[in-house]
Amino acid sequence: MADILSPSAWLLALVQALLFPALAPLLAGWVRKVRARLQNRRGASVFQPYRELRKLLLKEARVAHTASPLFRAAPYVVFVATWLAAATVPLLTIDLPTAVVADIIVLAGLLALARVFLALAGMDVGTAFGGMGASREMMISALAEPAMLMAVFTLAMTAHSTNLGSVIAHHLGDAFVLRPSYLFAFAGLTLVALAETGRIPVDNPTTHLELTMVHEAMVLEYSGRHLALMEWAAQIKLLLYGVLVANIFFPWGVASDPAPASLAMGLAAVVLKLAVLGGALAAAETVLAKMRLFRVPAFLNLALLLALLGLLSHVILEVGA
Binding site for another protein (CB under 8 A): 174-181, 183-184, 298, 301, 305-306, 308-309, 312-313, 315-321
Q: Which is nearer to another protein, 25 or 310 (CB)?
A: 310
Q: Enter the DSSP assignment of 204.
A: -
Quick one: how far is CA 184 from the chain centroid?
19
Q: Are 261 and 103 in contact (CB under 8 A)?
A: no
Shortest Cβ 54–another protein spacing (Å)? 46
Q: How far is the CB of 246 from another protein (least distance, A)?
A: 21
Strands, E assignment, the chain: none
Angle of helix 224-249 versus helix 180-196 axis, rounded to 10: 170
Identity of the residue, 233 or 307, whose beta carbon is nearer to another protein in the bound complex: 307
Cβ-based nearer residue to another protein, 30 or 184: 184
Q: How far apart are CA 199 and CA 152, in angstroms?
A: 21
CB of 292 to another protein, least distance (A): 14
At residue 225's C-alpha, the angle toward residues 192 and 20, to 5°, is 45
Tell me how far CA of residue 124 lies from CA of 60, 185, 218, 265, 315, in angstroms. 20, 36, 10, 46, 45
State the nearest-atom distance from the C-beta of 301 to another protein, in Å: 6
Nearest distance from residue 1's CB to another protein, in Å? 23
CB half-sphere exposure, 230, CA atoms < 13 A: 27
Residue 113, Cα to own-chain centre: how many angstroms? 14
- Residues 6+ away with beta carbon under 8 Å from 314: 154, 157, 158, 179, 181
Nearest residue (CB) to another protein, 38 versus 302: 302
Cβ closer to another protein: 53 or 307? Answer: 307
Shortest reach from residue 321's CB to another protein, in Å: 4
Q: How many residues does the chain have?
A: 321
Least gap, CB of 161 to another protein (angstroms): 17
Q: Which is nearer to another protein, 171 or 273 (CB)?
A: 171
Considering the complex, state which of residue 117 and residue 153 has its C-beta at the smaller distance from another protein: 153
